[in-house]
Amino acid sequence: MDSARVAYTTSLRAVAANTARLAVAQTTLQATRDYLKTAKADLKADPEDADQHVLTDNARNAMKAARDAADEAQGFLDASEIEAAKAKQVMNQAIAARSRRVNRHDMIEPALPADEAPVVESLTGEAYVNAAKAAFADLEDLETFPEPTGTLCSKPACQKKGHFCPCNLKAAFSSLSAKELKSAKGVFNPAQFAGYPDFQTKAEWGRKAFNNNRRMNRGI
């Protein structure tokens, strides 16, 4: 998705450059029109002046060249706007594809009674923080947000969030020592997920749970 975003940004720069180019061409065209108008008026005042005939012809040729340059600039602008529209479409498709992958991962499963909730291999405490650090090292390849694992919470509201619920997050961070909490500060900073709204929301949840645990550890 990042490559699509870069392509779109580049296309917008091209549109801006061609808009400026057209503005210059139109200004030049208007100047040559004014010059030709003046030359024609002088020629009308003195039709026998050979030099004025030359000046008028030069003014006419200059206006024609300016008109051609303005038409060319308009063509470049039109083409760049088409490319920008295509790049925006590609970027939006990439964003939608990423959202679909995230949504498939976050599909809500039916709530289970506490005694039937499945147990998976535990990923909590320092192991979870290290897994998050490794995952966040390359956001371009990040498809799913790392979650603490263990027994699924039986609360209906938590079931909607799977393993990434406040209860599991609290349990995941509760085993960290004061020193480990301090060193892990900033791992779930939402600012690093700008442009990734689904991940940014989870980072907000993670940071809130993390900070709550830090406040519970005196001396941090």
Q: Determine the average pLDDT of the residues in 98-121.
A: 51
- pLDDT of 200 reads 79
Q: Within 10 Å of residue 29's Cβ, how many Cβ atoms?
A: 21
* Beta-carbon-side half-sphere exposure of residue 201 (alpha carbons within 13 Å): 9
DSSP 8-class letter at 117: -
Q: Determine the average pLDDT of the residues in 81-107.
A: 74
Domain ranges, ordered by start, for the chain:
2-105, 114-216
Cα–Cα distance for residue pair 5/48, rounded to 1 Å = 64
- pLDDT of 31 reads 93
Categorize the per-residue pLDDT at 114 as very low, low, confident or very high, splitting at 50, 70 and 90.
Answer: very low
Give tens-digit pLDDT for 81-91: 899 888 888 87
Sequence-separated (6 or more) residues with CB below 8 Å from residue 17: 80
Residue of higher predicted confidence among 64 and 171: 64
Average pLDDT value for the chain: 77
Please state the pTM of the whole predicted model: 0.43
Structure-token match 């549109």, residue found:
15
